[in-house]
Structure 1
Amino acid sequence: MEISGIISAIVIGLVIGVLGRLVVPGRQHIGILWTILVGIVAALLGSALAAGFGVADTKGPDWIEWFIQIALAALGIAALDRARVRH
């Protein structure tokens, strides 16, 4: 993977992670690094799911793919926040 691909993954992960955090109500007790990691994983899984459902490549913005990615990020952030609060 080239450096531009790594930087792109971090930026996309940050955006998806932050949007996921905005969806989850209340204050989350996780740091920005966890937000980025959850966002990267959610972006990758969301793209794979969108491709599996056949909605990854549409004309114009891929709203359904973005919705899937943000929903996965919100689920990941909520789960990680609950796990960290217990400890």
Structure 2
Amino acid sequence: MADLGFWGWILIGAVAGVIGKLIMPGKDPGGCIVTILLGIAGALLAGFVAQALGLAVRGWFATYLAAIAGAVVILVIYRLIIRNRRV
């Protein structure tokens, strides 16, 4: 992904986290900060996976799509961990 700088990652993280939560609604602990961190982690995950697979993520649209997909994956993993903890 492009060199976005600190505020660029925060912006992409916030947008990806919010959209990821809209795709997978439910009761999850955490507020805005957790949502942003979820999106940032998703963006990083998507970037690492794309690089490992030899795929290029270019442009804002592709970057956001990859970050949203990564945020959804992170949210699924998070919910699985929390669900197993409660049992």
Q: Could you tell me which residue of structure 2 aligns to residue 15 of structure 1?
A: 15
- Using the TM superposition, give the Cα deviation of residue 19 of structure 1 relative to its aligned residue in structure 2, in angstroms: 1.4
Q: What is the aligned length?
A: 82
Unmatched segments (≥5 aa) in structure 1: none
Deviations 1:31-67 (A, max 9, x none): 01000011111101111111111222468953xx644
1:30–1:81 contact (8 Å) kept in structure 2: no
Unmatched segments (≥5 aa) in structure 2: none
Inter-partner Cα distance in structure 2 for 1:69 and 1:26: 20
How does the TM-score come out when normalised to structure 1?
Answer: 0.66
Inter-partner Cα distance in structure 1 for 2:39 and 2:55: 20
Provide the alpha-carbon RMSD of the alignment. 3.1
Moved more, 30-39 or 70-79: 70-79
Inter-partner Cα distance in structure 2 for 1:46 and 1:54: 12
Name the % identity. 35
Q: Measured at CA, do residues 26 and 72 of structure 1 come closer, stay the same or move farther in structure 2, by a change above 3 Å?
A: same
1:12–1:40 contact (8 Å) kept in structure 2: yes
Inter-partner Cα distance in structure 2 for 1:25 and 1:61: 23
- Using the TM superposition, give the Cα deviation of residue 14 of structure 1 relative to its aligned residue in structure 2, in angstroms: 0.4
Inter-partner Cα distance in structure 2 for 1:19 and 1:11: 12
How does the TM-score come out when normalised to structure 2?
Answer: 0.66
Inter-partner Cα distance in structure 2 for 1:55 and 1:66: 15
SS for the counterpart of 2:25 is coil
The within-5 A match list for 1:44-83 is: 44-57=44-57, 61-62=61-62, 66-80=64-78, 83=82
Inter-partner Cα distance in structure 1 for 2:61 and 2:54: 14
